[in-house]
Structure 1
């Protein structure tokens, strides 16, 4: 048995230590926000937060998570009470197919928790690891800017 802390709840899972976190989240815990995209850590659809840092859950073996905190999209809100980023993504209609959005939201969450006033360059660089095949990048950027303002910050044009 492997013990995990996911979204503030302790879980014991019977999984091979080398099993990717993504498979445990979806298969064992029923948390389907993180998606299987490429399986190589190149698309970001599976992004979750591990100790408040973005991580590709398709690459992280479950055994590496002892004593660490994992957060998924489900830990940021509910359909009835969405988190700030989810509400901003909905308001900006930032999702087309929606497959990448959970990963993008998790990566943006990590950035805005550390810095509610990133520069435009920092925002773009931070989100570059997550791909959107539908091409809604401009709406995604608008949604993150909106969320930054809602969190008491905003996005600066350049570093000062």
Structure 2
């Protein structure tokens, strides 16, 4: 069941707290100035309105792991576009190695210890598959179109399933020997 985990005010507080802790207290103002326009855009843009739009593509069941924060995933894709990254795999590596981009996306940086993360309104950096699943939900593609038609498979001698021309009952299906004699 998809819900808004963290409001925009929570994100702004998270951003303010972590930027203060990682960059302002350590006198790394220049790093913040390079991303100044992105920081102001992300602070002023409330993306929580996406949740009702993609609610139907999420399961209504409460079983299993709760879904990752959809707003943070969308925000991370926006930051990815801003930094001109085109590969999701490379983007995950960048998020894990660059705490500023991780914070701007709304994720807890990898360098921040997990026992200190209790009570913080953010998730850790997700994996590659989470982003691909989220993008599939955004695109809303029909999965039945992309599924291939099931074929009957026969079992080979070593136990692997593979399509063959032989019958599992021992009868020849083709007339190969008849063609050789002609």
TM bracket (short chain): 0.3 to 0.5
Q: Would you tell me which structure has more strand in proportion to its own residues? A: 1
TM-score after normalising by structure 2:
0.31
TM-score after normalising by structure 1:
0.34
Higher Rg: 2
